[in-house]
């Protein structure tokens, strides 16, 4: 992931070196678990306080700590991003982000489950994400 704050903030996902089908993925937490990366990058883009930030590497936290961090992140995102949005649309975005965060935690702590889909697509299709997605462009064209 490349986080570029010069001009309009941009996030680029470029590492496809370990791409496997979801059913073969190793859900160990940290940056290699896409679900974790989304919350981490959101907290960085919004310049949230440390209590709302998700770590680069895997960590061991309990459900209470996960829920406290998620609520701190949501408060930060509402303060930074939610002011110019109608409450329903932004709450839908937060609900979807919360589902991704909870799912990531579940996948990391229940490795016996067979993963065939994630909530990432639901988050992507929220009105908030779609409104803020710039036109797609090829930043790393293949020659």
pLDDT digits (tens, 9 = 90+) for 17-61: 667 777 777 666 666 677 778 898 899 999 999 999 887 766 778
Task: Tell me which residue of 11, 7, 20 sits closest to 43, measured CA to CA.
Answer: 11
The residue ranking higher by pLDDT, 141 or 64, is: 64
Q: Is the pLDDT of residue 1 over 60?
A: no
Which pLDDT score, from 0 to 100, does residue 106 have?
Answer: 84
pTM of the full structure: 0.79
Angle at 126 between CA 124 and CA 131, to 5 degrees: 90
Contact between 100 and 118 under an 8 Å Cβ cutoff? The reply is yes
Q: How confident is the model at residue 91 (pLDDT cuts 50, 70, 90)?
A: very high
Buried b (16+ CB within 10 A) or exposed e, 24-62: ebebebebebebbbbbbbbbbbbebeeebbbeeeeeeee
Contact between 44 and 53 under an 8 Å Cβ cutoff? The reply is yes
Which pLDDT score, from 0 to 100, does residue 140 have?
Answer: 67
Which positions ≥6 away from 21 have C-beta within 8 Å?
none
Q: How confident is the model at residue 110 (pLDDT cuts 50, 70, 90)?
A: confident
Which pLDDT score, from 0 to 100, does residue 100 have?
Answer: 93
Mean predicted confidence (pLDDT) in 115-143: 84
Query: What mean pLDDT, rounded, does the chain reach?
Result: 81
Which pLDDT score, from 0 to 100, does residue 108 have?
Answer: 80
Contact between 141 and 111 under an 8 Å Cβ cutoff? The reply is no
The residue ranking higher by pLDDT, 67 or 58, is: 67
């Amino acid at each position: 992931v490349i986080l570029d704050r010069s001009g309009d903030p941009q996030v680029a996902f470029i590492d496809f070196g370990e791409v496997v089908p979801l059913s073969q993925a190793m859900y160990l937490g940290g940056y290699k678990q896409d679900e974790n990366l989304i919350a981490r990058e959101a907290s960085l883009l919004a310049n949230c306080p440390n209590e709302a930030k998700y770590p680069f590497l895997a960590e061991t936290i309990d459900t209470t700590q996960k829920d406290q961090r998620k609520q701190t992140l949501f408060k930060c995102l509402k303060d930074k991003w939610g002011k110019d949005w109608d409450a329903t649309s932004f709450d839908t975005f937060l609900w979807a982000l919360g589902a991704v965060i909870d799912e990531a935690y579940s996948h990391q702590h229940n490795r016996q489950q067979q993963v065939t889909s994630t909530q990432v697509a639901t988050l992507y299709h929220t009105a908030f994400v779609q409104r803020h997605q710039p036109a797609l462009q090829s930043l790393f064209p293949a020659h």
